[in-house]
Structure 1
Amino acid sequence: MVGTVRDEGAPLLGRESELRLLTSLLDEVATCGRALVFRGEPGIGKSRLLSEAARGARERGMAVLTAAGVQSEAKLPFAGLHQLLRPIRERAVELPLIQREALDAAFGLAPDVAPEPYRIAMAVLDLVSEVATDGPLLLVVDDAQWLDRPSADVLAFVARRIESDPILLLAAARDGYPEGLTEAGLAEHRLAALDDVAAAALVDAAVPDLSLTRRTSVLREAAGNPLALLELPAARGEPAQPGAVPVTERLERAFAGRVSDLPEITRLVLLVSALSDDDAMSESLQAASAVAGTPVDLEALEPAVDAALIELDVNAIRFRHPLIRSAVRQSAGVQLRRRVHEALAATLEDDPDRRVWHRAALVSGTHEEVARELEQAGVRARRRGAVDIALTALRRAVELSEPSHRAPRMLATAELAYDGGRPDIAAAMLREIERLDQREPLDVARARFISELLDARALADRSRVADLIAIAEQAGEAGDLELHHNLLWIAAARTWWASPGPDIRRLIVDAANRAGAPTAANARLVSIHAYADPHANASKIVDCLREAADSRAIGAVPAGYLASAGMVIGAFHHSLMFCTAAIDSAREEGRLGALPRLLATQAILAVRLPDWDIAIPAAEEARRLATELGQPVWLATAETAVAMIGALRGDPDATERATARADALALPLGATHLVALAQMGLTLSALGQSRYPEALGFVERMFDPRDPAHHLHFACMAIGDLAEAAVHAENAQAARERLAEVEVLVGGAPAEWLAITLRHARALLADDDREASVRFEEALSADLGGWPLWRGRLLLAHGRWLRRHRRVMDSRAPLREARGLFDAIGAAGWGDQARRELRASGESSRRRAPEARDDLTAQELQIAQLASEGLSNREIGQRLFLSHRTISTHLYRVFPKLGITSRAELGPALASGATR
């Protein structure tokens, strides 16, 4: 037989550059982990290159783990991952219990455990990293386009985190198929067709006695595709005209012709195996026997083995190329395929998750019983952490549902898709719901809730607020209090984000009041009142935050609501505490998707204080995870935090770059609150650099309703910045008018930040010397122990005022204290200003000595902090969703930067003021 599918003995011609690439990757893996995806059309040689890589790895003594995607297995949760890890499953005993349980749940061995998908991914990362401690490891994934999505997502997670491990991940994927490894942004190498010389050499080596006419025809039809060059010489039928039939289709026809030459019973067993989601030989023979009505044994497969279409491996039937499987399916009639699905369903009576798909294949209309079974299979898949498999089951259940059950199942699918990070599926379900004739009012309200969560562009859409309030109250009247509060929260948050004006604000305030007074026991309601009217409700919100802070048991979701409430009113210390609690819970539960939002918020809050130990690592981790997970709103938020960090630490270039990135993300989304937040970074940078007219212009943008940066709440929070800029820009009168506006908006009982910034502005904008003296005394007598930047700025302003009023000796004490505060927090620009003022008063002042930790990157600082708290590398890795080898690599770089040699020295070396 002329056909040599995946024949390892065929010469590998025309792939010299790829072979050099593989050699380089294998040689370097001991020092640098890598991941690479080979892409190309079917038969182009991707699998052969993977085989060469595996052979080369084994020759070097490397461990090799392999898996191959199979189209019929795409609905089986973690089928690909199970295949890949099977040889090392016993090493899972070396993992922490929570990770072992996650892996067991993924593989269906722990039905009572319901892990988050990223907990499973982290367990796999640690497992392969542990195996790699014995020596370099090669992971090979063929036909990645057909991996089940949960397996693909886990491998994408791993691939992004092996740079510090001696692990090489090589995958092959067919063109035209989106899949998890490609969407992960991994490096790709596209395989082109063989050139004419290599193609001719391959045909001559494989089929040396081919006639000249047939050789010419094969070379033309194959178009440089290696598999076609090997298979088409044996194909029956007339040669195709150049370009008339795609190479893939020609190959399928060639394989179909070879299948048609087989005995009928052999074709039947092949069809059973092609339609099965498992390669188990005994299962295929049992189902084939049921269809044939007579016992079928192994002998029936011998003709297919002789024809080089399959290979037998212990109890497995393996097609030698996916196109053969496809050809077998395509060449069978509809009725025969139905009979095979029916037989497989009967064979799998004890395996409901596989059985239901064969039952579903038999149904063309509605079938409520099968729809329920699919729904239950989806629930089981979700508990195993296989969200995409669950979604596939639920979507098929929707198709088979009776009309009365369709809307609830669509909603369940949309909700799971949103929670699982599949907004495209959620949006598709919502569009389908809109077309339904049978919809209950609560179904409409639930669909609207999900729709609002999905639409990032709705952040600044003022027109939706009134409609949302009405739908929220309808849900409440229908008895769904949770949905009522969910929709009301979105309406209130949007009111804060979009500044829709007094009429809409009054609507949301009234609706919030009808929903009930804020209490510590209802965190969501606290957040609703904070967003609805942050100034009027400030004191009540602070009371709730204090009461909640005394509670020992508060979950991640309530903590998130309380953090948002504290943030919008300016109670940043309380907000930071709840935000940190929510982050800790998210890490503990493996909810990676929630971290970009929480970390970006934490970074913004910590910058306000400022606390660099929190702000710098949080901003960097938020950026990394938001980029990885595709969350543009939270990436933009993190960039605004980076901008403010640069501003306060005296790096205006970093501020401008981060602001540009934030604007590029926020403006297309209409996220004006983020554009305003970016202006705050630019303002602080300009103030620190004494560029006062620029600073004034940045703040004024937030007050201007025509400007994309307009945001009244942030403008109020920046009134102290405006006052400082205006005084130095000799525009104090206009600033006094702005101050009066803000005082009306804020009322008489603002939260901590607003109270501080108002006192600062009043002191700077006092009408006369007597008032200024009183205002400075009032501002400085307030408790600013938790606000070193504000106290430093106030002392600097007071020292300047004293010196300019010829009280030079009196000015030195506040200026010295200001300098010390600025140095302690690394506020370089303001520190330089304090030194200039001291020199002008006749007192010399040394520059701040650089601290040892200033040389650390954000991630190095975060890891060093955790290590100084006594956490092991593995524990740090689990918190940051990184491998323990990556943690070790970072610490290896940290020690010389800090001038230390042991973990015990980390604490003192990281302390504020410590120098090398």
Structure 2
Amino acid sequence: MEVPAMRPTADALFGRENEMAFLHDRIDVLSRQGGAVLVHGEPGIGKTALLEEAARHTALRRSRVLTTVGVESETLLPFSGLHQLVFPFRALIDDLPDTERDALRAALGITDAPVPDLYLVALASLNLLARAAAGAPLLLVVDDVHWLDGASAEVISFLSRRLESEPILLLAALRDGYPTRLTRTDVADLAVGPLSAEASALLLDRRAPGLARVARQQLLKEAAGNPLALTELATDTSGRETISPDAPWTPMSRRLQDAFTARLRTLPDATRHILLTAACDDSPSLTEILRVASLDLAAPATAADLAPAVSARLTEVSDDAVRFRHPLMRSAIRQAAPAARRRQVHAALARCLPAGSDRRTWHEAAATVQADARLADRLEAAADRAHRRGGAADSVFALEQAARLSSEPGRRVERLLKAADQAVDTGQQHLLTRLLDAATPWATTPQQRARIQWIKGGLEDGMRDASEGTALLTRLVRTVMAEGDHDLAVRILWSAALRCFWSEPGDAARRDIVALADALPFPDDDPRILAILAYAQPVTSGRRVLTQLRRAAGRTAGDAQADRLVGSAAVLVGDFELAAELSEVSVPGLRAHGRLGLLARALGAQAWSGAQLARLDSTIPVAEEASRLARETGQTFLHGINVATEARTAALQGRYDSAMELAARAERIGLPVAARPVLATAQIARGVAAMGAGRYDEAHAHLLRMHDPADPAHQPALRCYALIELVDAAVHSGDTRRARSVIEEMEAAARRTPSPALHSGLRYARAVLADDTEAEELFAGALDGCGRPFDRARVQLAYGQWLRRQRRVTDARTHLRAARDAFDALGTVPWSERARRELLASGETSRRREPDARDRLTPQELQIARMAAEGLTNREIGQRLYLSHRTVSTHLHRVFPKLGITSRAELTSVFPPTG
């Protein structure tokens, strides 16, 4: 068969026409639309060559290209990868808002200040790059993203989700099999697979035209379409007739490393030494590498000594920087050198670096085998500095090395536990496991062993931990309290209380947590204590918590974290107005400091409360943002409950299919670990959706699950706040027996707590389930005691239905009209339609509810439009939502035609001021 002629631009790009066309298409529209692409494949498959081709194509279009490369090094600095991307634009940093400017200057080491929060650095980077791209589009190239320092990787991941409206394209290359934050995002995916047989043959013939036929066939078979294998193994086997069929099979990366090593042996001794120095150095500076290499050579090393490595295609040198042509070359060179030789190079590197610098400390550590208490102390100090700069992963690494060099077992285990505690913030389970496994043999005290179990449960609030759970944590609290460390004790006790929310440890465990909270020397209105009580015993401690909540809220004004805790406690005890209020109050402070993990929790509490109150206009965008941020910050089960809340708002709007799909997605997240609040909220959403669609038997079955202690959807607090839905479904299904049993339980609970939501639900239930002789008085009492619009409207609907059955049509119409109007205002379409049907049955027709123009907006568009209507500028909106002002502008331009308006000034007619 005739093979068509191919005209590649470079050897490694044989057969890559489709991949290049994909990248060229993204680059050609860069002035109108940005985004991110994850280029991934096996080692040597041609990812770097594709990035280089993309950079070349971008430069031809007069756009700017910035690159950063992850380096497999033991001496990474926080934000070192980000530094390469944003430092060229450092002159623009002073134009950023003060908080962003200070955060970015601290991250880049321009100032010696602690980094407030990594996500604030990310927002600052986004706005800086957006400013830089205003003059000409930008291509950001990140090679070997899996080897970036942890802080830079987080920022790159953040950027990748927010570039669509910017003239910025991010291309990141990832080696298959390596974890990275980018794989969890919705970026475009470009998988780079093996070359075709025809392309492989053409490439091999170009690289080794004289290769014997048998050797050529064997090499094509073994390379299996890997371009680097074809080029490097062709060089390695050039002139040989065959490749031994008896040679043991080794992984491709090993074969390639062997090929690089074989070429290394042909180089002069001085060149090999310089290459090893470059492979061990965490800086590409040619000047530094030559200065260090000279320490162990008979004559000073020069650039000419590196020329053989350039000729052998191992390295490139430009602008005082040494760059390995492939990451495998760096690792091959290091692995080929004896361990003692590598330590010698690290020692030389340390001698050439400034005294007291963290780089010097880390190279000294890499050069040291024996315990060294002073060096371990310096490493721990370096870890503390890295942590202050926002480099959690780098701090963990330094602490791990400090533990290795610790001479005293006690110091070793404490450093490992400190590293593990910080590793929880990285979200990397494998790293946490490694540190705890290392600490376990040295943990000799009960307190240390208990701390290991506590830290192990730090990821996902202990939901993936099969340890003793709350019992172990409460024992640890007692030990820590006895040692006088009350702040650590309350942190651990809060972990135990959270497990009472996500799982069911039993009444004894809950009582134990409350007893310990009472024993801690903190005021009764301390937000931490109130949150612990609310999460551990939401009913039994309900009266205490509700009594103190308002007082605590007044005392914590301005403390975003304290407000968040009080708002979260209010959810559990059923004061949803206060919960929504305080959660919303905490949001600006959490945003300002970039605390996105806590922000996701605050927004989640605000959304759950808002859904309970049917404040759909404000709740829908909050729930969407809470869900997105929980996913971005790696809080899987929080993401699940927020998705379930989105399902509930969809059901309240009458979007039944969407509600069921979202509920199913939430259940897939929560079911494997029986995350009770996720499953409970999903059941509420399903029940509301089924009831809105008129499937009352199905709705009844869904809602009853929450009240079965054997069901994983049983959550002691949340089940108290879906009584109206349960009774409504029971009455319409004609089966009220089990609902009455649940109400009896709730009546007993209500005697112990003044929970507003619980009592509101019970007043509704008493009226709806009463016989005709008592119903009217109970309906009147329910209306008198109900100030929440949605609950009140539901009482009015039920009251109107009862009055119509009593043939009191005129009275019925009064309540049904009020219910209809309230439901229309709230946007709860299923209830609006029910009220209209009841009015029609009473002989009165209703004008059809016209869809609100706001219903056409996406959740994020709705959120941006409301903020713009309040008078916020695009820049202020961007700062709140962690978007660039250009992205905000793009959203608003989509919003105007959907709302039928033409200017920002008209937004106030659609979103009138509240309050």
Query: TM-score scaled by structure 1?
Result: 0.91
Structure 1 gap ranges (5+): 1-6
Deviations 1:499-518 (A, max 9, x none): 55554444444444444786
Task: Give SS of 2:36's match.
Answer: strand
Aligned residue in 1 for 2:61: 60
Match status 1:718 vs 2:719: no
- 2:285 aligned to which of 280, 286, 298: 280
Task: Give SS of 1:317's match.
Answer: strand
CA distance in 1, matches of 2:418, 2:627: 31
Aligned residue in 2 for 1:341: 346
> Which one is further off, 203-212 or 881-890?
203-212
Match status 1:618 vs 2:622: yes
Task: Give SS of 2:457's match.
Answer: helix
Describe how 1:385-424 pairs up with structure 2 within 5 A.
385-401=390-406, 402-424=408-430
Describe how 1:192-231 pairs up with structure 2 within 5 A.
192-206=193-207, 208=209, 222-231=223-232
AA partner of residue 751 (structure 2): G
Contact 1:647 1:655 in 2 (8 A): yes
Contact 1:403 1:438 in 2 (8 A): no
CA distance in 1, matches of 2:652, 2:471: 40
Aligned residue in 1 for 2:3: none
Aligned residue in 1 for 2:591: 587
Aligned residue in 1 for 2:782: 779
CA distance in 2, matches of 1:397, 1:286: 28
Match status 1:824 vs 2:833: no
1:584 Cα deviation (Å)?
A: 2.2
Deviations 1:226-266 (A, max 9, x none): 34444445547965335745554444444434433333333
> Which one is further off, 394-403 or 43-52?
43-52
1:461–1:263: structure 2 CA closer, same or farther, 3 Å change rule? Answer: closer
CA distance in 2, matches of 1:689, 1:176: 46
CA distance in 2, matches of 1:193, 1:464: 48
1:468–1:170: structure 2 CA closer, same or farther, 3 Å change rule? Answer: closer
1:637 Cα deviation (Å)?
A: 0.8
Contact 2:413 2:443 in 1 (8 A): no
Aligned residue in 2 for 1:368: 373
Deviations 1:568-626 (A, max 9, x none): 11111111122123322221111122233222221111111222233101111122223
Match status 1:384 vs 2:389: yes
AA partner of residue 483 (structure 1): L
AA partner of residue 792 (structure 1): A
> Which one is further off, 710-719 or 415-424?
710-719
Aligned residue in 1 for 2:660: 656
Task: Give SS of 2:458's match.
Answer: helix
Aligned residue in 2 for 1:681: 685
> Which one is further off, 98-107 or 301-310?
301-310
Contact 1:459 1:498 in 2 (8 A): no
Aligned residue in 2 for 1:3: none
Deviations 1:784-838 (A, max 9, x none): 33x1011111111222222222222222222211111111101222222222222
> Which one is further off, 414-423 or 717-726?
717-726
Match status 1:24 vs 2:20: no
Describe how 1:787-866 pairs up with structure 2 within 5 A.
787-866=788-867
> Which one is further off, 13-22 or 726-735?
726-735
AA partner of residue 84 (structure 1): L
CA distance in 1, matches of 2:272, 2:502: 64
Match status 1:701 vs 2:705: yes
- 1:433 aligned to which of 420, 435, 439: 439
1:42–1:673: structure 2 CA closer, same or farther, 3 Å change rule? Answer: closer
Contact 2:793 2:823 in 1 (8 A): yes
Deviations 1:273-310 (A, max 9, x none): 22211122222222222223654444433444454443
Match status 1:766 vs 2:770: yes
Describe how 1:600-639 pairs up with structure 2 within 5 A.
600-639=604-643
> Which one is further off, 687-696 or 609-618?
687-696
Task: Give SS of 1:72's match.
Answer: coil
Structure 2 gap ranges (5+): 1-7
Match status 1:727 vs 2:731: yes
Query: TM-score scaled by structure 2?
Result: 0.91
Aligned residue in 2 for 1:80: 81
Aligned residue in 2 for 1:240: 243
AA partner of residue 132 (structure 2): V
Contact 1:387 1:416 in 2 (8 A): yes
> Which one is further off, 268-277 or 174-183?
174-183
1:411 Cα deviation (Å)?
A: 1.8
Aligned residue in 2 for 1:485: 490
Contact 2:200 2:225 in 1 (8 A): yes
CA distance in 2, matches of 1:873, 1:263: 60
CA distance in 1, matches of 2:142, 2:273: 29
AA partner of residue 262 (structure 1): L
Deviations 1:19-59 (A, max 9, x none): 32232222233333232233334443332222221121111
Aligned residue in 2 for 1:476: 481
Match status 1:256 vs 2:261: yes
CA distance in 2, matches of 1:674, 1:213: 62
Task: Give SS of 2:585's match.
Answer: helix
CA distance in 2, matches of 1:198, 1:842: 78
CA distance in 2, matches of 1:482, 1:494: 19
Aligned residue in 1 for 2:362: 357
CA distance in 2, matches of 1:329, 1:463: 44
> Which one is further off, 235-244 or 883-892?
235-244
1:459 Cα deviation (Å)?
A: 8.9
Task: Give SS of 2:840's match.
Answer: helix
1:83–1:711: structure 2 CA closer, same or farther, 3 Å change rule? Answer: closer
AA partner of residue 408 (structure 1): E
Deviations 1:668-725 (A, max 9, x none): 1112233222222233334444544333333322222233323343333333333333
1:476–1:31: structure 2 CA closer, same or farther, 3 Å change rule? Answer: same
CA distance in 1, matches of 2:860, 2:298: 65
> Which one is further off, 726-735 or 616-625?
726-735
1:658–1:290: structure 2 CA closer, same or farther, 3 Å change rule? Answer: same
1:329–1:899: structure 2 CA closer, same or farther, 3 Å change rule? Answer: same
1:413–1:836: structure 2 CA closer, same or farther, 3 Å change rule? Answer: same
AA partner of residue 429 (structure 1): L
Contact 2:501 2:676 in 1 (8 A): no
Deviations 1:126-154 (A, max 9, x none): 22222222232212223333332322322
CA distance in 1, matches of 2:624, 2:534: 28
1:416 Cα deviation (Å)?
A: 0.9
Contact 1:617 1:859 in 2 (8 A): yes
> Which one is further off, 479-488 or 584-593?
479-488
> Which one is further off, 160-169 or 550-559?
550-559
> Which one is further off, 39-48 or 541-550?
39-48
Deviations 1:81-131 (A, max 9, x none): 222334333233332232222222222121113231111222222222222
> Which one is further off, 575-584 or 260-269?
260-269
Aligned residue in 2 for 1:743: 747
AA partner of residue 623 (structure 2): A
1:799–1:409: structure 2 CA closer, same or farther, 3 Å change rule? Answer: same
Deviations 1:718-739 (A, max 9, x none): 3333333333444456544433
Contact 1:462 1:494 in 2 (8 A): no
CA distance in 2, matches of 1:748, 1:192: 64
AA partner of residue 341 (structure 1): H
CA distance in 1, matches of 2:522, 2:762: 28
